[in-house]
Structure 1
Amino acid sequence: MKEGNVISEDFLLGNERSKILYHEYARHLPIIDYHNHLPPQEIAENKKFSNLTEIWLKGDHYKWRGMRALGVKEALITGNTSDREKFMAWAAIVPATVRNPLFHWTHMELKDPFGINSYLNKNSADAIYEHCNVLLQQDKFSAQGLLKHYQVEMVGTTDDPCDNLMYHKQLAESDFSVQVKPSFRPDKVLLINKPIQFKQYLDGLSDVSGIPVNDLGSLVFALRNRVDFFHTNLCSISDHGLSALPLTYELTDAERSEFEQFLKTDGAEFSNPDAFAGYILTELCKMYHERGWVQQFHLGAIRNNNLGMFNQLGADSGYDSIGDFKHAERLSAFFGNLSLTDQLTKTIIYNLNPADNEVFAAMTGNFADGNLKGKMQFGSGWWFLDQKDGIEKQLNTLSNLGMISTFVGMLTDSRSFLSYSRHDYFRRILCNLFGSEMESGLLPDDEKWIGEIIGNICYYNARNYFDLKIKI
């Protein structure tokens, strides 16, 4: 395979106006990563990674799926083989990922931050592995060093309501310039259809809140306690990962009484889990509105499809997929109910099925209130859709059915400190889209005008939307 200049300075930029927009208005802007899954402990402790496998392959479900599809044995993915062997297995199949976004992401992540701009394959693997491992021992390649390198201003981690936020407190009191904010992710409190796990979770919620949960009122009170705790620790964002929003949001008197009995009875199942989830989620959304938070809904995944591997590896191991749930009626009913009492806070909705793009984009327009620009957001291409085609489709749908000039832009939604190249990837795609339409006459050939819109989408809209006070 030919070695050489893999990721050029003008990568993905197809014309002169695209290049100007990117290099002059997007490239050097800071990053606001308002939703990711980075471990706050690793940031607080300023973790140094022992080798390239640890920082790059462990926990990366995208790469795991690719390796499995290309016949790599599980022992070389999640098994007990050495980190070097796992990296060599990955390097050997990278050429076969061509036209998959993994091919571009891999080489972008090698170029920035490691300065490697040649192809990764079985012949180059040894040299690349050793080169990166040496760099990873330097301070600038630690967890905090990498965040500074990528000019990250805010990191929004994903945190369970029962978390004590110890590492967020540590970071808030430190002189680390990047703001690391918790996000409230209460998914487990909605899973009443899994009674054993649900009751175990409520035991933990009771312990951490100091409020025994024995009925519906005490559950809401305990959740309010945790929302308040998160709020005092700089949280201003919630996130919810659901297959779909609940269709109902009220419980009958009989169901309220049933819930109390359900908590007392081993082996009991609750008769209307959708209504329970809708009621609790609605109460939470009212709390978010009261505090001025932004709420996010990641919708449409069907998880843990491979039951055999789920039994071996557990959740989040690369066996989730795009679902085909019906969303329009549920989105309308849920947000419409909150609008009745003017308790719908700033909201971002993300879909996983591209067939739902127009449904989601159109739905956001129903709940704009004329007071806050961009209050309702059709979120960026997520998970299976954060590749070039998915990003372009999301941008085009938002442009056609909403106002792209108010868009809050990209996020990593990643567990990897090397995923910040995704922001650069997004910015290049965005600039190429706008630049191409300037070239063809569909957009004004006004560099300053369009450049300002590009800058807003890449950075300033998010800074204003999340009301960030950047640490100096």
Structure 2
Amino acid sequence: MPQIASLQPHPDRLLPADPETRAIARRLYDAVRESPIISPHGHVDPRLLAENLSFSDPASLLVTPDHYVTRMLHANGVPLQELGVGQDRLTEAQSRRAWRHLCSHWPAFRGTPVRYWFDSELSDIFGVTRRPSEDNADFIYDQIAACLTKDEFRPRALFEQFGIEVLATTDDPADDLSAHEALAADPTWNARVIPTFRPDRYLEPAQAGWNDNVTLLGEVSGIDVTDYTGYIAALEGRRRYFIDHGATSADHSHLDFRAEPLPDNEAARIYRAARSGRAREAEATAFRRHMLLEMARMSAEDGLVMTLHPGVHRNHHTPTFERFGVDTGHDIPVQVELTRALQPLLERYGTHPGFHLVLFTLDETVFSREIAPLSGFYPSVYAGAPWWFLDAPEAIRRYRSAVTETAGFGRTSGFIDDTRAFCSIPARHDMSRRLDSGYLAHLVAEHRIDEDEATETAIQLVADNPRNVFKL
């Protein structure tokens, strides 16, 4: 009879292998392991917590919404429709089929951060003790499905179990934020779930649907957007609405970091051309770059933290996009440049009191070359944590080494989980805490800092940095 492989995450996982350094890292990790989770950038749907309904099935919770998972399975020959992507509520047969695909392809995730997160989720949340495989897929499915019928596995109960203090969602400027209102008004709910202003699709005239989006913006803001002046006023009004509902940041993702001003009359001309469908691609790009500068101006005035994470070729595979839509696993990183691209923005607002600009990238070559030097000079600029394709252990270690020597620890954002997969939040933050404890332990072992300083810094990275950077 074949031996059953156990699932038992090692207590020292990700900590340094050297015994002396590992002992230091353990002490540092113990100082932060139970600290509350502050999640200032993510994509969990706030309705999940407002409605607090039981999760329907294991696949809909752990597989289908997580493009980290679905893209890897797709790369190994599993069609996205087999994983429930682009579908409404899954039947039990559909959910089991998706779960079986995950378990039968478990070896594909070896060495990836997804494997680390899944090991933690399955073991710590659902008590799974067997390593997933094709043979035990249904057994594990039934174990998780049984958990999901219990009140302690509803979203709010898990939120409290995870120790989340603040959770920021990502929201469309036209959203009425009713889920956030419901949570804020609920006397039984004490945690902070705050919206984030994400205006990308209102700033890109070249994108399909831009005109309809701008019309909607005018309707929800109650401002006439016939001309450029009204359009700017509508964006400003919606930002105020978000601030009134607890928002502390505005999030931006475009193809590049470039911010270039246009004269007001030229911006107004391009806006009119775009609204009538006559704007050329070059004009649309110029308008978007101008609007990024306008977004910085608004952040300097209203105080919303500006986060930038360009450098993504969205929807790389057109047939997949046409069938399944956005955020389905085929966004691919591209090379970026920041120093010249952001100079017009930083000339204006880089030393503006209260302006915070957090720079994220999928191109790690710019960590030491551009982001660290920028955050090491401008009081407004912070080096955003590695995220998305870079939120893996080795990439996080490279980030910490590349940024710290120029900008120190205090000019970094704190960890960003950036996830739609609700149950992966504690595993992702735990991974970051272990890695930072290991990095700090090496500094102590090399007698570059003392252990009391390392402990203070570990706490700073988990608690102080995200609170300060994101004005929480």
Give me the CA root mean square deviation.
2.0
Instruction: Give the match for residue 116 of structure 2.
Output: 104
**Offset from partner CA, 1:7-53 (integer Å, 9 cap, x none):** 12222123111111112x11010011000001011111013112211
Asked if residue 360 in structure 1 is aligned to residue 371 in structure 2, the reply is: yes
- 1:247 deviates by 3.9
Instruction: Give the match for residue 64 of structure 1.
Output: 70
TM score, norm. by length of structure 2: 0.91
**Structure 1 303/254 Cα, relative in aligned 2: closer, same or farther at 3 Å?**
closer
Distance in 1 of aligned mates of 2:140 and 2:51: 27
Distance in 2 of aligned mates of 1:131 and 1:401: 49
**Structure 1 254/220 Cα, relative in aligned 2: closer, same or farther at 3 Å?**
closer
Distance in 2 of aligned mates of 1:384 and 1:396: 18
Instruction: Give the match for residue 372 of structure 1.
Output: none
2:26 to 19, 23, 27: 19
Instruction: Give the match for residue 215 of structure 2.
Output: 203
**Structure 1 401/117 Cα, relative in aligned 2: closer, same or farther at 3 Å?**
farther
Instruction: Give the match for residue 334 of structure 1.
Output: 345
Instruction: Give the match for residue 307 of structure 2.
Output: 296
1:409 counterpart letter in structure 2: G
2:437 counterpart letter in structure 1: C
Please, which runs of 5 or more residues in structure 1 have no aligned partner? 369-374
Distance in 1 of aligned mates of 2:455 and 2:322: 50
- 1:334 deviates by 2.2
The 5 Å alignment of 1:256-267 reads 256-263=268-275, 265-267=276-278
Asked if residue 465 in structure 1 is aligned to residue 469 in structure 2, the reply is: yes
For the 8 Å contact 1:338–1:344, the answer to whether it is kept is: no
2:9 counterpart letter in structure 1: I
Instruction: Give the match for residue 225 of structure 1.
Output: 237
Instruction: Give the match for residue 189 of structure 2.
Output: 176
For the 8 Å contact 2:28–2:437, the answer to whether it is kept is: yes
Asked if residue 310 in structure 1 is aligned to residue 310 in structure 2, the reply is: no
Instruction: Give the match for residue 371 of structure 1.
Output: none
Asked if residue 456 in structure 1 is aligned to residue 460 in structure 2, the reply is: yes
- 1:452 deviates by 1.3
- 1:332 deviates by 2.3
**Offset from partner CA, 1:321-368 (integer Å, 9 cap, x none):** 11113332112232223348x377111110011122122222222312
The 5 Å alignment of 1:35-434 reads 35-78=41-84, 82-174=94-186, 175-194=188-207, 196-251=208-263, 253-263=265-275, 265-269=276-280, 272-339=283-350, 342=352, 345-358=355-368, 359-368=370-379, 375-420=380-425, 421-434=427-440
**Offset from partner CA, 1:125-173 (integer Å, 9 cap, x none):** 2221111111112222111111111100011000111110111111111
For the 8 Å contact 2:228–2:267, the answer to whether it is kept is: no
Distance in 2 of aligned mates of 1:337 and 1:7: 49
Distance in 1 of aligned mates of 2:8 and 2:77: 26
For the 8 Å contact 2:415–2:466, the answer to whether it is kept is: no
Distance in 2 of aligned mates of 1:259 and 1:381: 35
1:393 counterpart letter in structure 2: R
2:323 counterpart letter in structure 1: Q
Please, which runs of 5 or more residues in structure 2 have no aligned partner? 17-21, 88-92
For the 8 Å contact 1:213–1:222, the answer to whether it is kept is: yes
- 1:287 deviates by 2.2
For the 8 Å contact 1:91–1:121, the answer to whether it is kept is: yes
Distance in 2 of aligned mates of 1:291 and 1:268: 30
For the 8 Å contact 1:408–1:459, the answer to whether it is kept is: no
Name whichever of 217-226 and 331-340 sits farther off. 331-340
State the percentage of identical aligned residues: 26
For the 8 Å contact 1:251–1:275, the answer to whether it is kept is: no
Q: Secondary structure at the match of 2:357?
A: strand
1:465 counterpart letter in structure 2: V
Q: Secondary structure at the match of 2:307?
A: strand
Q: Secondary structure at the match of 1:99?
A: coil
Instruction: Give the match for residue 90 of structure 2.
Output: none
1:216 counterpart letter in structure 2: Y
- 1:290 deviates by 2.1
Distance in 1 of aligned mates of 2:124 and 2:467: 24
Q: Secondary structure at the match of 2:360?
A: strand
For the 8 Å contact 2:300–2:349, the answer to whether it is kept is: no
For the 8 Å contact 1:211–1:218, the answer to whether it is kept is: yes
Q: How many residues get paired?
A: 456
